[in-house]
Structure 1
Amino acid sequence: MKNSFVLLIAIAGILASCSGKKYVNVPKGIYDDFNLQEYESFDFYELKGPEERGAYYEENIEFLQDAITKKMEERGVKRDTNNPSLKVNLGISVQEQVQTRETNLATDPFMYTGQRSYTWTRTEVPVNTYTEGSLTMHLVDVSDNEAVWVGTIDRALPKKQKNVPSTIQSAVDLLFLKIDK
């Protein structure tokens, strides 16, 4: 029973840590006066991606831009590729991460080293690998060529491509919650 409880706690910890950060980081005090309603139109900067693009890179970028476009248009800001008043710059980073846990006496036994000497030390043990994506969105006022709002969100990315669109949509939703304040 005790081992089942420890296993349940370990699994819950793994799932919680794989869910990724669910908050948007916006520098405090810098963009407090930003109001998206002051802009009538927007467009995206040209995205310069990695030389070796993954199999779904173009599809995921298109979905990301479509999700942002939908959110902008819901707020009355239309996409204009000719003369936008606001430009969206996207910074995207994807990295493989290793999830670890700390050993403990309940799950990791003592090691026998001979002559009745037992040893146990606390160490970090790899338990999982996952992919973490970071999305930074800069909203740039075209007339000043100055960022008027910047937000970043980090998320664990799903292993299956079919789940990526919902993860992207969730990240965009959270970014716009911060924009709307």
Structure 2
Amino acid sequence: MKNAFKRWWLPVWLVPVLLGCSKSLQVGYDYDSSVNLKQFKTFRVETEKGLAQDPLLGSELNRRRLDDAVTKVMEQKGYKLDQNDPDIVVKYMTDVKDRQQIRSNNNYSPYWWWYSPMPNNYSTYNYQESRFILNIYQDRSSKMIWQGWATGSMKAPSKKEDRADIMQNIISDILRSFPQATLDTYSRK
């Protein structure tokens, strides 16, 4: 009986714990349906110019981490880095917006009409929303063909080593819907 309880209790306890550890970033993407995304073989990584970067997320340290993360994820997808004549250019940007959420806590009771008017409690929650945006341009025409983003509240990592891993996981989540390079896209040397 004790072992059956342990086997039943562990999954019930583990599910809420794992859900509590889930990411708070929401990922989305959009693309130009008139372009065959599987035709591209090579890429280059740049920061998006002309747009204001967040001073912390867009710092020189984080730009290097983002460059490395985008390069690693694109190479894992089978694309080849080419600084001189790439098929596509992956540009990224980051920003942080101050957000505010107002919550209402109505104390509904079946007897509220009997005792008094209903109390209504309001609370305000201030937070910062981070955004990571990847824009992919066709190099020859400079036309945007794909855009992906992750947005939401992001906690600071506990160790310095975690920062590069966090960036790579975010970029991997954003590029998950971008197609893999096909095996015949380039010859392996």
Q: Give the TM-score normalised by structure 1.
A: 0.65
- CA distance in structure 2 between the partners assigned to 1:47 and 1:168 by the alignment: 20
Q: Do the aligned residues in 2 keep the contact of 1:136 with 1:152 (CA within 8 Å)?
A: yes
What is residue 86 of structure 2 aligned with on the other side? 84
Residue 137 (str. 1) matches residue 134 (str. 2): yes
Residue 73 (str. 1) matches residue 72 (str. 2): no
Shift of 1:45: 4.6
RMSD (Å), alpha carbons: 3.5
Percent identical pairs in the alignment equals 18
What is residue 114 of structure 1 aligned with on the other side? none
Over 3 Å counting, the alpha-carbon distance change for 1:166 and 1:84 in structure 2 is same
Over 3 Å counting, the alpha-carbon distance change for 1:170 and 1:144 in structure 2 is same
Q: Do the aligned residues in 1 keep the contact of 2:41 with 2:79 (CA within 8 Å)?
A: yes
Deviates more, 1:83-92 or 1:157-166: 157-166
Find the residue that maps to 1:83 and give its secondary structure. coil
Gaps in structure 2 of 5+ consecutive residues: 1-15, 181-189
What is residue 152 of structure 1 aligned with on the other side? 149
- CA distance in structure 2 between the partners assigned to 1:55 and 1:160 by the alignment: 13
Q: Deviations over 1:49-98 (max 9, x none)?
A: 64882387221221111111001112232222222221112232211223
Q: Deviations over 1:84-137 (max 9, x none)?
A: 22111223221122344321328xxx9xxxxxx9443445412x4332111221
- CA distance in structure 2 between the partners assigned to 1:178 and 1:57 by the alignment: 27
Over 3 Å counting, the alpha-carbon distance change for 1:137 and 1:55 in structure 2 is closer
Q: Size of the alignment, in residue pairs?
A: 155
- CA distance in structure 2 between the partners assigned to 1:89 and 1:25 by the alignment: 14
- CA distance in structure 1 between the partners assigned to 2:151 and 2:88 by the alignment: 24
* Structure 1 residue ranges, 4+ long, deviating more than 4 angstroms after superposition: 45-52
**Alignment-mate amino acid for residue 170 of structure 1:** N
Alignment of 1:121-132 (within 5 A): 121-122=119-120, 124-126=122-124, 128-132=125-129
Residue 26 (str. 1) matches residue 26 (str. 2): no
What is residue 42 of structure 2 aligned with on the other side? 40
**Alignment-mate amino acid for residue 125 of structure 1:** S
Shift of 1:37: 5.2
Gaps in structure 1 of 5+ consecutive residues: 1-11, 111-116
- CA distance in structure 2 between the partners assigned to 1:52 and 1:139 by the alignment: 20
Over 3 Å counting, the alpha-carbon distance change for 1:46 and 1:176 in structure 2 is closer
